[in-house]
Amino acid sequence: MLSVNDKALTLVKKMIENDEDLGVSVFSLDNGTSVIDAGVKSRGGYRAGKLLSEICLGGLGAVSILMQNRPRIHVQVDHAPVSCLGSQYTGWSRKLGCES
């Protein structure tokens, strides 16, 4: 059975372990909750954004950043209903086989 929590947790741990290299900051709240700042007060960057996007897909998608006239994001998923809707509803419009 697919577990978006398990797959995403692996990526979250990777982000925490590489916080300085990715330009993110990690801190804990009084209740023990870990918070990752990937660009609000921290520097962030393309690699942090790529990893955060893959976390938001529940670890079931691959994100590529294409540097053309302007940065573009290409997302590939094998389990679209689970990774796009089951992990979180983003509100983005999705079109099968469409590239804009």
Q: What is the pLDDT along the chain (100 residues), one digit of tens a residue?
A: 777 789 999 999 999 999 999 999 999 999 999 999 999 999 999 999 999 999 988 888 899 999 989 989 998 988 877 777 665 555 555 555 545 4
Could you tell me the pTM of the whole model? Answer: 0.79
- Using the structure block, give the residue that is written with the tokens 């916080």: 19
- Cβ atoms of residues 35 and 42 within 8 Å: no
pLDDT of residue 21: 97
pLDDT of residue 100: 46
pLDDT of residue 38: 95
50 CB-near residues (< 8 Å, 6+ apart):
63, 64, 65
Nearest Cα to 84, choosing from 60, 52, 63?
60
